[in-house]
Amino acid sequence: MSTPLTIPKLQMSTTEGTLAEWLVDDGALVEEGQPIYCLETDKSVQEIEAPESGRLVQKAAAGETYPVGTEIGEITSA
């Protein structure tokens, strides 16, 4: 089982977000609620927490801007 990580729509006006930085290495184990990446939008910079516990698979490069809904990674059952 895996849970996809997609660029979230955090505000009504958000259409895209910048994956500023991965806070956890690719392939590392994460705990639910642990900050895993920094998201930058026109309004703010926010740490995004892991929705589940498991192994993080990164699928997108940091420093790039992606439209809302883009899959940037997933958390697979450890």
Partner 1 sequence: MAKNLAIDHDTLREIYRQMSRIHEVDKAIQAGLSSGKFQFTYWPLTGQEAIPASIAPLITEKDYMVTIYRGIHDQVAKGVPLKGLFAEALGRVDGVNKGKGGSPHISDPGSGSMLTTAIVGAGAPIANGLALASKMRGTNAVTIVNFGDGATSIGAIHEAMNLAGIWKLPVIFLCQNNQMGEYTPIPEYTASVDFAGRAAGYGFKGVKLDGNDPVVFHNGMKSIIDEVRKGNGPVFVEALTLRLGPHAGVGDTNHLSKEDLAAAKAAWPVPCTRALLLEKGICTEEELARIDEDARAEVKEAVAAALKSEVTGEDEMLLDVYADPTVVPQRGQRDKRAAEAPHTGETREMAMFQAIQDAQEMALQLDDNVIFLGEDIGASGGVFRCFQGMQAKWGERIRPTPIAEQAIIGAATGAALVGMRPVAEIMFCDFMGVCLDQVVNHAAKQRYMSGGATHVPMTIRTIAGGGIGGFGAQHSQSTEAWLLHTPGLKIVYPSTPTEAKGLLLSCIFDEDPCVQFESMMLTYTTKEEVPLGDYRIPLGVAKVKREGTDVTLITYGWQVMQCLAAAEELAKEGISAEVIDLRTLLPLDYDRILTSVEKTGRALVVHAATEFCGLGAEIASTINETLFSKLKAPASRFGAAYAPIAYSKIIETAQIPHAGTIAARVRELCK
Q: Which residues bind partner 1 (CB under 8 A)?
A: 3-12, 14, 33, 43-44, 46, 48-51, 68-69, 71
Q: Which is nearer to partner 1, 5 or 23 (CB)?
A: 5
- Shortest Å distance, C-beta 67 to partner 1: 11
As a whole number of angstroms, the distance between CA 71 and CA 60 comes to: 8
Q: Tokens 């990674």 map to which residue?
A: 73
Q: Which is nearer to partner 1, 4 or 63 (CB)?
A: 4
Alpha helix segments (H runs only) across the chain = none
Q: How many Cβ atoms sit within 10 Å of the Cβ of residue 41?
A: 20
- Shortest Å distance, C-beta 65 to partner 1: 15
Q: Which is nearer to partner 1, 11 or 77 (CB)?
A: 11
Please tell me whether residue 72 adopts helix, strand or coil conformation. Answer: strand
